[in-house]
Amino acid sequence: MSKYRTAYVNARLIDPASGLDAPGGLLAEDGAIADIGAGLFAEGGPEGAETVDCGGMVLAPGLVDMRVQLRDPGHEHMEDIGSAGLAAAAGGVTTMVCLPNTDPVIDNVALLEFVARRAREVKLAKVHCYAAATRGMQGTQLTEYGLLGEAGAVAFTDAETAIADAKTMQRALSYASTFGHIIMQHPEEPALCDGGAMNSGEIASRLGLSGLPPVAEVMMIERDLRLVEATGGRWHAAHVSTAASVEAIRQAKKRGMAVTCDTAPHYFALNEVAVGDYRTFAKVRPPLRGEDDRQAIVEGLRDGTIDAIASDHSPYDQDSKRLPFAQAAFGIIGLETLLPLTLELYHNKHLSLSEALALITCRPADLLGLKGGRLAKGAQADLVLIEPDRPWKIDEVAFRSKSKNSPFDGRPVQGHALRTVVDGRAIFIHGREG
C-alpha cells in the first residue's frame, strides 16, 4: 500500500516547544511528521508527494484548546461535535478538550466512550474529555478517578460549578494525587456571587445589576492553595480574571507548588466596559473585569504565571442570550477567534510570535499530558498554516459554530488560519468549503 505524503515547502517553521523559528519545510507521511527542518525542501518537494507551497507563511503545531463546551450530548441545538469540529478547523484548532457539563454529565466511562466514538465518526478536530470531579457535578460524592483516567479523562472538574465544600476539595485532591491526575477548579466563592450578573463596581451600580465581586475569585484560589499544600495534589485554576488571583498563583509557584492556571481571550482583550448598555453577548463567568485586572492578566501571560490560553467556548442559542441581562446565560463562543485574539498579544508587542503560539499549543498540551502541540519527527502531523499579519474583521455570520454569541463581532484583528491539518489530512483550507 502506497504511503500518503504531503510536503510543506517554503514555510516559516515555528515550534514553540523547541524554540525553532526558521525558514524550512516539513514532510507529513501517514499521519505523522516524517521529516522537518530549516532549509528542508529548499529546492522543492520530493517526488511522489503532494506539495503545499506555504508562501513564507507560518507553519506551526495545530492549536490545542483546553476548555471547550461541546453541548453534545444533550443540547445539540446549540452545538454538537460536528459543528464544533468545523468551527475548530476554521480556527486552526486541531485538539479540543471538552468540559463534562453535558446532559447527562460526563461522570462515567460510557459517556467518555460515547464522545470519543462520535469524534472518531466526525473526523475533524481531535476531542479529549474532562470527567466530572463529583457525581452529577453536585459537589459531594467523588467520581471514579482511576477508571475514568484509564478510559481517557485528562483531568477532573465540575466545569462552571465551583467545588465549594472544602472537605470535598481536600478529598478530591488527595484521591486524584494517587493517580497523578489534576483537579481543575472554577474559582468562585458561590455565596458571594449568588444572583450576580457582572463585575461588581461603578458600571454594575449604574446599570442596576447585581455584582460578581473580584474577591470571590481569589478567596477560592487561596483556600484551594492551602488544600494543595496539605494534600500534595495537582490543581489548576480555570479562566483566571483578576490581578489578585494572578498574584496568588504567582506566589504559589515561587514556593514550588504544583499549581497551574489558564485564562481566556476575553479577559485580556476586553474589560467590563464591553457590557455597554446590557450587551448580553458580553456576559461571561467569571465576568469581564476592570481595566487594572485586564492589564494584570496580560502581565501574567508575559511573565509565565498564566500557563495557557483557552477559548472557553460556551455556545448558547438566541433564546438563552436575548433576554434581560440578569436572566441571560453566561458564556461566549471562542473556537474561531482564539487564534486572532491570542495574536493580539504579539501585535501589541506583549509577547513574541512564538511565545503567543506556545500558550495555545505546547503549553496546554504539556499541562494535560497530550501528544499534540509540537513540530518534531515522529509527532502527529497536526498542523496549522497561519498568515499572522493579515487584517480582517470578525463576522459572526461567517462562524461555523451553530451559536453566534460573541462580543467580538465587527472587531478588527490580524492573523488567521489558512490550512488546518489533523493527522496529515487537511480538514480546513481557507477559501474552500468542505
User: Which residues have a catalytic role annotated?
Assistant: 312
Cβ(356)–Cβ(12) under 8 Å?
Answer: no
User: How far is it, in rounded angstroms, from Cα 46 to Cα 33?
Assistant: 15
Q: Vertex 207, ends 202 and 209: CA angle to 5°?
A: 90
* Partners of 199 in the β-ladder: 212
Neighbours of 82 (CB within 10 A): 19
How many angstroms separate the Cα of 264 from the Cα of each of 68, 252, 319?
Answer: 11, 21, 24
CA proximity to 381, closest of 5, 33, 120: 33
Tell me the C-alpha distance between 416 and 393, whole Å: 11
Cβ(62)–Cβ(382) below 8 Å: yes
Q: Rounded distance, CA 79 to CA 63, Å?
A: 20
Q: Which of 387, 410, 428, 397 is nearest to 60 (CA)?
A: 387
Give CA separation, 357 vs 18, 214, 363, 374, 411, in Å.
12, 29, 9, 11, 21
